[in-house]
Structure 1
Amino acid sequence: MKKLRWRLLVSVCVLNGAYFSIGAAAQDSVDASEELDPVVVYSFNNDRFAVAADRNTSIYVSTQAIEAAEMGDLRDVFAENASVTVGGGIPIAQKIFVNGVDALNLNMTIEGAMQNNRAFHHVTANAIDPALLRAVRVDAGVAAADSGPNALGGSIAFQLIDALDLLEDGETMGGKATLSFDTNGNTFSQALTGFAEHNGFDILAFAKNAKGQDYTSGGDWEIPGTGANLQTGLLKAGYSSESGHRFEISGMMLKDKEERPYRANFGAFKGTSPTRIYDTMRKSFSFRYEHLEPTDLYDPEIVLGFSESNIDVEESKGTSNTLNGKLANTFHFNDVTSFTTGVDFYRKTSQFEDSAQDPTETANNFGAFGQVRSEVLSGLEVSVGARVDHQSFEGISEFDARATGASGNASVSYELVDGFKLKAGYANVFGGYALEDNYLFWTDWNYAQFKPSRSQNVTAGFEFERQGLSFSGNIFRTEIKNARGEEQIKTPTKVYHVVSKDVTTTGFNLAAGYQWQSGFARLTYSYTEAEVEGSHASSYSALDLAAPLGQVLAFNVSHRLDDYDLTIGGDIQGAFDYDTGATGDSDRTLEGYAVVGLFAEYEPEQIDGLKLRVEANNIFDEDYSDRGTYGGDYNVIGTLKEPGRSFSLTANYRF
């Protein structure tokens, strides 16, 4: 603990030194009587309800964070908010946790196409290349009924870049070329984007390749199976008619074929660290329709999506996919009251294949929903919604089950005084039947104890924002009943039995920030505890459900020096030592860490469209695993370490 505190103190001093070297210019720019220019810009297409009460817990990833993560990974996307944790040092192993809840238990979409295609438990179900992103919204805990089914712990929505966002005024076509090199692993990445618009039609094409060697952790330890070999592609097209109809299609893919740790999210097991080839392919396609000039009675949304995950390991193959659709309309009764209603469906399939068999589980869902959003009094916003879902499940050995369940949510926000809001929310969510990890389908299953899951989410907090200064905080509790787990009964035939688990995460989040005309500083802190079956959770007992996280913090600072066409800043990612309190075979305290990064971004006025970014990451060469990485509480597991000290250079040229 003393070591961590010392590192945090030194880290803060380093970043404060960089901050104060800016001089008095930032302070002089702050005038209480003038409106501050926004620096942290939030953007999310089709979010008609960004100020509604059901967005109380929403986290909008900043434009700066997305741009900074362009040649990085998913962990970089959420680096500004401690309540969203991404564990795993390589993209194939990176899993997302929101308030401690595994994203498998959230409704997750890319362009409206449902994701969470659960496959091998040592591999993520949520891989996405940050270079494809234009906006991200996380609804932590309480999610509205129109966010979709299975939102046991909330929802995450990703939106992809498109031509209309990248084209500047007066342009009809353009492009961007990006080159990046990282010294740790000698990873060289190249990306090319082309986009155009003509007579209402727009199109964007994107391709990226990243190739490198195994990286080293802090202390110069080489981590086998961590070399980059990632190819990404995106094609997105749209048409906007003169009367306001907007049609959009998109297709993306990610391919990663390389030697990885034998268990991809482990660094080692029982002191050994063999590798094997993982051949993974992830695809997501969507069709969307909306009207850009809605009327009081006609504000439609139509979505059809398909996503698939293929994971080949040795002689085995896991394939999981989701087909989903949504038809909705929002009725605007007046300027402050609306009602969104519609129907949605999905069909999820999970299949395992080897030389002898191809067992499959399938789940179908049909839902109807409605959500009312209103400002009932000046400063008092209320959002209330409900949905009903009917599910059918088909398991191995011709097992069938049916279930129907209702979900409800309510959120309230009240501006007590100018700039200060109190807010609270509650959601009771029917989750239904979940598909299992298909790499466990190699033997028979017993579904006798299989029950539909259900969750309760409660949150309450405040936010204050005035003249660039902001504070916020909230407490939360997510309780999932009958979450699907498994137990292998070692009879002569070795049968897996479905078991029901009750999972709870509780904690609180705090944030403080200051924004001036040319920059910002922001500190977030999150404390999360997890329980399974009423006992403190280990990373094993909570596998695919939650994670014991303890205290996590994130600090970010950025300032633009307009006279020099230069932006400088840095960040601290940290966690404190944490004893999970779990009994049984969990035998180690999670170790704290503090990791510091600095960056400088230069846009020379002499070369229009060129942007250079240099980063120094993990400058103290901390030897650590991210708090969300599996197995840190077990001596038998060598956790997958994050990269040690590295320097990277990225060149972007917009033409």
Structure 2
Amino acid sequence: MLRCPPLAFSLAPRRLRQVALAASAWIAASAAAAMEADLPTVQVSAEADMPDAGTQALDLDAAQRRLARDMQDLLRGEPAVQSGTGTRNGQKIFLRGLDDVNVLVQLDGARQGANLLHHQARVGVDPFLLKRVRLTTGPAPADAGPAALGGAIAFETVDAHDLLRPGQRHGARLAALGDSADRTRGILGSAWTVTDQGLGLLAYTRRELSDRIRAGNGSRLPGTEGDLTTALLKATVLEADGHTLRLSWERWRNDGGYFRANFPWDSNNAIQAWDDQRQQRDTFSVRHRYQDRARGWLDVQTSLYHNLSRLELWGRPPLAATLGDDWRTRSLGWDVRNTARWSLGGWLHELTVGVDRFDDRNQASGWAIPTLRESARNTGVYVQDRVDGGALRLSFGARWDRWHTTYANGYGVRGQRTSPNASLEWDVAPTDPARGDTWTLFAGVGESVRGAKLNQAAWLTKYFLPPRYTTPRPFILGRDGVLRPEVARQQQAGLRVHTHGLWTAGDHAGLQVQRYRIRLRDYQIIPGEGPTAPTDRIVNAPGDIVSQGWELRAHWGNARWHVEGSWSRPRVRNYDGQPLDTTGESARVGVSTGPRLTLDVQHRWSEAWTLGYQLTAVGRLREAPAGRPPKPGYAVHGLQAIWQPHADGRFRLTLAVDNLTDKLYAEHASVRLRLPDGRETAMPEPGRSVRVLADWRF
């Protein structure tokens, strides 16, 4: 039983791009087609490449309607994604049951994923900044990047060019936001311009002050108040004599939230409950592309990035030794690739060859400890060929990675490995161009490898003996002196159907069903859970971690209605064969959740009014580790109303009600613990949440 705490884009020849894009974003594209007047006009540069069968686009329109404020809100409707812990600073994202520490996350091409402490400041993204989100849930292509064990999530922020309305050269936005669940008062503003020379400039900021979160039973959750600030500065030049350049700096900063944020409040001691802290991430990114339209073999893309995440304690914590503790994760990286396009024997090829590198470093410092560091470096060489033969589309490639990790205690590991992948899509039924009917089989297999892996920055002292933390503990690296890299083998197969005129002349409908399996071999166990537990070894797990399940998506819509539903059933087993839980050594591996059903309904009531409804229902999870009780199921409802009196979108008022029935519940992905008195406890999600956004565009 849950115990609440006491408190204009250019396409390649033929139908190559049309079919491939429809395959990857079939639901989102259909929704946008039905509701295109709801969103401001967006200009898209000629940067659409052939997507892979395992890559899909997130429906950002649905996230905007429910006034998504953070990552958990943003990804809620995706069947492959599970999330947990209602506090902003401790949110955990799981892709097909695997923890986000095992997922490649990128923002404007920059690798994310700080490894500070218990997911604090790990992945913080402002949904109001996003232009697109791509999810790679199947086997990752070689050019997706390194260490995509559980898949990949790529976030792209807006450009000034995206925000201009027809005939505009400059514009501005001002919005005010409120949320009853945590008494949020927020404001955001941005300004943009595009010069006569095509240079786009964008400045954006958002500030939110929030009180303690109110749970479904009416109690306020201690330590959950916060002060959020986000900002973006971006300069863009699009298609200038074949050159495209993007320079950006983005900041996400949150003050507040308690120290061990993803754990239930009533399991914390005085130090773990400390909430005078700051989590901050700064991302710098430079991306350049040169595409020679006269020479299909020349399309060079270069990206450079610097990402710095930081967690700092301040105020007067209960234990003086923790005062001023500062933990950081820094990532430097670059990627250079060229894509060549040609036609041979009726087949269109898109061959990408490239090199990427990252250099990650964790650092811990404070008044009572020396400055400790450990680093992980990885260099990858990759090739990926995407081939379109009309009814049959193929993608295959491989990447070679070499890594070197140096731990804080002086030990290290290095190695290299090649990871192949292949996928296909086959239109098995004749396509009717008049109706737009497609019946497509798709399948994929592949491997991803991670050899460069860091410990949590806050755990670097656990390699050493207290109180000075200068003498290393006795340490074991690997079994028999060998630490093998983690290798994920991914498989998926499914069927996708899309049609028009199913019931009426103007409607569209689609169905997708797929089966997947991920086997993670040689997972590297880094012990240290608990205040006094040491990190005295890093070894490979004795067994494999397996995630498998089914995912189903369906949609139907016309000019005024859009209905989308999904169902998923992940089954995840730890290396000991037990269902994955959210405690102990499995806390950073993944999680088992019950079957999940989502429904999203959007109705264009009039030219000015749009209404919406969402349902999220999760079934009871009976498969629990030995000695643990099942996780109870729950159902949460949401309503939205959007009033947009002007066709050009100059003003928009959005009302969204989440958890309409004020249900007390905890996500299955949230950490749950057994207290000394035998009761189970978990961090509950917010109760009824009434959100309002007044949005002006000038």
TM-score, with length taken from structure 2: 0.83
1:651 equivalenced with 2:694 (yes/no): yes
* Separation of aligned partners in 2, 1:476 and 1:124: 30
Matches within 5 A, 1:437-448: 437-444=456-463, 446-448=475-477
CA change 1:651–1:632 in 2 (3 A) is farther
Question: Shift of residue 400 of structure 1?
Answer: 2.4
Quick check: 246-255 or 219-228, which moved more?
A: 219-228
1:458 equivalenced with 2:487 (yes/no): no
1:519 equivalenced with 2:561 (yes/no): yes
* Separation of aligned partners in 2, 1:208 and 1:350: 28
CA change 1:267–1:321 in 2 (3 A) is same
Quick check: 523-532 or 353-362, which moved more?
A: 353-362
1:509-565 C-alpha deviation (Å, 9 max, x unpaired): 0111112112311111111111111332222242222111121121101011234x1
2:659 maps to: 618
Matches within 5 A, 1:18-417: 38-39=33-34, 48-50=48-50, 52=51, 55-68=52-65, 72-198=69-195, 199-240=197-238, 242-258=240-256, 260-270=257-267, 274-291=273-290, 294=293, 295-313=295-313, 314-315=322-323, 316-334=325-343, 336-354=348-366, 355-376=368-389, 378-417=390-429
Amino acid at match of 1:454: V
Question: Shift of residue 233 of structure 1?
Answer: 0.6
Matches within 5 A, 1:536-555: 536-540=579-583, 541-555=585-599
1:235-284 C-alpha deviation (Å, 9 max, x unpaired): 011123641211110010111112x2342112324487944222111111
CA change 1:494–1:630 in 2 (3 A) is closer
Native 8 Å contact 1:206 1:235 kept in 2:
yes
Native 8 Å contact 1:433 1:453 kept in 2:
no
Which blocks of at least 5 consecutive residues in structure 1 are unaligned? 2-34
* Separation of aligned partners in 1, 2:533 and 2:49: 53
Native 8 Å contact 1:271 1:638 kept in 2:
no
* Separation of aligned partners in 2, 1:494 and 1:616: 45
* Separation of aligned partners in 2, 1:222 and 1:136: 33
1:561 equivalenced with 2:605 (yes/no): yes
* Separation of aligned partners in 1, 2:358 and 2:298: 25
Quick check: 404-413 or 311-320, which moved more?
A: 311-320
Tell me the matched-pair count: 613
Native 8 Å contact 1:536 1:580 kept in 2:
yes
Native 8 Å contact 2:222 2:265 kept in 1:
no
Native 8 Å contact 1:69 1:130 kept in 2:
no
CA change 1:111–1:40 in 2 (3 A) is farther
Q: Secondary structure at the match of 1:580?
A: coil
Report % sequence identity. Answer: 23
Native 8 Å contact 2:65 2:640 kept in 1:
no
Amino acid at match of 2:592: P
Amino acid at match of 2:690: F
Amino acid at match of 2:548: T
2:550 maps to: 508
* Separation of aligned partners in 1, 2:224 and 2:45: 35
Quick check: 409-418 or 269-278, which moved more?
A: 269-278
Native 8 Å contact 1:141 1:152 kept in 2:
no
CA change 1:614–1:440 in 2 (3 A) is same
* Separation of aligned partners in 2, 1:351 and 1:636: 37
Native 8 Å contact 1:457 1:476 kept in 2:
yes
CA change 1:493–1:280 in 2 (3 A) is closer
Q: Secondary structure at the match of 1:146?
A: helix
Native 8 Å contact 1:269 1:636 kept in 2:
no
1:487 maps to: 527
Matches within 5 A, 1:411-426: 411-417=423-429, 418=431, 419-426=438-445
1:616-654 C-alpha deviation (Å, 9 max, x unpaired): 211100101122222278866632211111212110000
1:13 maps to: none
The answer to which structure has the higher strand fraction is 1
Q: Secondary structure at the match of 2:78?
A: coil
* Separation of aligned partners in 2, 1:402 and 1:166: 46
1:349-388 C-alpha deviation (Å, 9 max, x unpaired): 0112222222211011111100011124x31111001010
Q: CA RMSD in A?
A: 2.5
1:498 equivalenced with 2:542 (yes/no): no
TM-score, with length taken from structure 1: 0.89
CA change 1:542–1:218 in 2 (3 A) is same
Native 8 Å contact 2:121 2:311 kept in 1:
no
CA change 1:202–1:448 in 2 (3 A) is same
Native 8 Å contact 1:505 1:546 kept in 2:
no
Quick check: 535-544 or 448-457, which moved more?
A: 535-544
1:203-251 C-alpha deviation (Å, 9 max, x unpaired): 1000110002112110102111222310011001112364121111001
Amino acid at match of 1:473: V
Native 8 Å contact 1:37 1:517 kept in 2:
no
CA change 1:107–1:387 in 2 (3 A) is same
Question: Shift of residue 487 of structure 1?
Answer: 3.0
1:431 maps to: 450
Amino acid at match of 1:243: D
CA change 1:489–1:221 in 2 (3 A) is closer
1:423-473 C-alpha deviation (Å, 9 max, x unpaired): 110011221131111211112263521321111001111111101111111
Match of 1:530 among 556, 572, 579: 572
* Separation of aligned partners in 1, 2:302 and 2:626: 49
1:151-209 C-alpha deviation (Å, 9 max, x unpaired): 11111100001101001122110011110111222211100010000011111000110
Q: Secondary structure at the match of 1:616?
A: strand
2:635 maps to: 594
* Separation of aligned partners in 2, 1:422 and 1:633: 45
Native 8 Å contact 2:70 2:124 kept in 1:
no
Question: Shift of residue 106 of structure 1?
Answer: 1.8
